[in-house]
Amino acid sequence: MPRKSVKHFESLCVQPIRENKTTMPHQLGIQPSSAFYFDSTQKSIEAFLNQPGSHVYSRYGNPTVDPVAQRIADLEVLGSKLKAYGVLTSTGMSAIHITIQALLKPGDTIISQSILYGGTTELFNKIFIPMGYKQMLLDLRDMNKLEIALKKIKKRSLIYIETPVNPNLTCVPIKAICDLAKKYNTLVIVDNTFATPINQQALLLGADVIVHSTTKFIHGHGSSMGGAIVTKNKELMHQYIWPALKLVGSTSNSFDAWLIHLGIKTLALRMQRHNENALQLAQFLASKAKVKTVNYPGLLEHPDHPIAVSQMTGFGALLSFELKGKLKDTIQYMDRLRIASNAPSLGETDTMVLHPASSSHLRVEKSVREKYGITDSLIRVSVGLENIEELKSDFENAFA
């Protein structure tokens, strides 16, 4: 029905503006509208029946957000015949939370690793366990242990993995875990934040669901918070994940989605440079007398190098290294860095350092973190896109 022209200031001020553009913008626009209008009730009925799909209300789906989620899903399966489905979430944490809550019920078991992104460990301990979920933490490089665990669990379970893991860069074999999980009818979720689809396509190795903190490499510029959930299983997305996201409401928004989209344009180029710089910095640090260990999956000496080679095409930007010395020496070293910033994030264009024991893993019990190499002298580095010689000299000068 054509809309009535109005005659009063109060009426004209509040009328929505509806442009009929005759040409299409070359680039994705920001569409902040909460709701989408229908020129007939019949169309509204059809749109509500076609969910997720047609746009009705931006918590359900949005014309800026949805294509960006689909771009991440397409990257995760590029080069294969698989089709993938994606949603964007408000943060990486909400992507993890929604995925687990959508796929598992209290009483069921989350099988995972003792060391994960600090927030994920805290999410399991402070939210899911008090709700009645069970947790089983294993070395997921050991398939015998995993099989014994899967046999023992009576109710449903899912396997939640992060590889390479924060901050000691341990890798677990995605394909072997997924093969075993299939045998026991268990889903595998992979946090692919560190690798990104450029370096590792976990869905192609058998994973059911991938979660991302797009805050990190996918956006890549440190100016947006976001997460993504991607699956190759349409039913999981449409019947479980999307409804949970819609009802909990931790959706993304058009502005953040638009920023994520800008970041993705250079993701492949950035990852290539991140991979090159990180490998060079890792080799440089490994040659230093004052360095005790360097954790980087691209180094031949790294215990999980063979696993990394089998499933990654590049080894990423993250490394950590342990200084010979005490807490005081480590803090002094970090404070002497001039190019690398001391900032608690990763995946940005510049190099960032962090002291896990006093920040991201502060709430992990000391005996547990030390068992996994997160000692007081461990420094985590997210290697940026700087000139590598300049970056090496920054890390060299800090030894002085």
Among 58-66, 167-175, 191-199, 367-375, the segment contacting ligand PLP (CB under 6 A): 191-199
Active site residue 59: yes
Q: Least separation, in Å, of the C-beta of 99 and ligand PLP?
A: 12
Three-state secondary-structure class, residue 100? helix
Cα–Cα distance, 168 to 294 (Å, whole number) = 9
Give residue number: closest CB to ligand PLP. 92
Of the candidates 71, 141, 216, 246, the residue annotated as catalytic is 216
User: Binding residue for ligand PLP (CB under 6 A) from 166, 201, 250, 253?
Assistant: 166
Provide the edge-to-edge strand list for the sheet that holds 187-191: 85-89, 227-231, 209-213, 187-191, 157-162, 109-112, 134-137
Which residues inside 322-351 make contact with ligand PLP, applying CB under 6 A? 346
Does 93 engage in binding with ligand PLP (CB under 6 A)? yes
Does 227 engage in binding with ligand PLP (CB under 6 A)? yes
Does 252 engage in binding with ligand PLP (CB under 6 A)? no
How remote is the C-alpha of 32 from its chain's centroid?
24
Burial 168-182 (b: 16+ CB within 10 A, else e): bbbbbbbebbbebbe
CA distances from 335 to 111, 313, 328, 331, 354 (A): 38, 34, 11, 6, 11
HSE of 299 in the Cβ direction (CA atoms, 13 Å)? 24
Which residues inside 6-45 make contact with ligand PLP, applying CB under 6 A? none
Active site residue 216: yes
User: Binding residue for ligand PLP (CB under 6 A) from 76, 162, 208, 322?
Assistant: 162
* Choice between 55 and 261, CB closer to ligand PLP: 261
Three-state secondary-structure class, residue 131? coil
Active site residue 191: yes
Does 216 engage in binding with ligand PLP (CB under 6 A)? yes
Among 49-57, 213-221, 247-255, 288-296, the segment contacting ligand PLP (CB under 6 A): 213-221
Closest CA to 170 of 198, 135, 142, 196: 142
* Choice between 244 and 291, CB closer to ligand PLP: 244
Other Cβ atoms closer than 10 A to 239: 12
Does 99 engage in binding with ligand PLP (CB under 6 A)? no
Closest CA to 277 of 314, 235, 237, 231: 314
Of the candidates 60, 71, 85, 117, the residue annotated as catalytic is 117
Cα–Cα distance, 39 to 182 (Å, whole number) = 48
Q: Where are the beta strands (DSSP E) in 166-287?
A: 187-191, 209-213, 227-231
Cα–Cα distance, 207 to 220 (Å, whole number) = 24
Does 316 engage in binding with ligand PLP (CB under 6 A)? no
Does 256 engage in binding with ligand PLP (CB under 6 A)? no
Cα–Cα distance, 351 to 354 (Å, whole number) = 10
User: Binding residue for ligand PLP (CB under 6 A) from 76, 191, 348, 376?
Assistant: 191
CB contact at 8 A, 62 and 254: yes
Active site residue 141: no
Q: Least separation, in Å, of the C-beta of 297 and ligand PLP?
A: 14
User: Binding residue for ligand PLP (CB under 6 A) from 213, 224, 231, 252?
Assistant: 213
Of the candidates 66, 160, 191, 246, the residue annotated as catalytic is 191
Interacting residues of 186 by C-beta distance below 8 A, sequence separation 6+ = 111, 150, 156, 157, 158, 159
Does 119 engage in binding with ligand PLP (CB under 6 A)? yes
Does 225 engage in binding with ligand PLP (CB under 6 A)? yes
Number of residues that bind ligand PLP (CB under 6 A): 17
* Choice between 166 and 168, CB closer to ligand PLP: 166
Catalytic residue numbers read 59, 117, 191, 216
Give the residues lining the site for ligand PLP (CB under 6 A): 91-93, 117, 119-120, 162, 166, 191, 193-194, 213, 215-216, 225, 227, 346
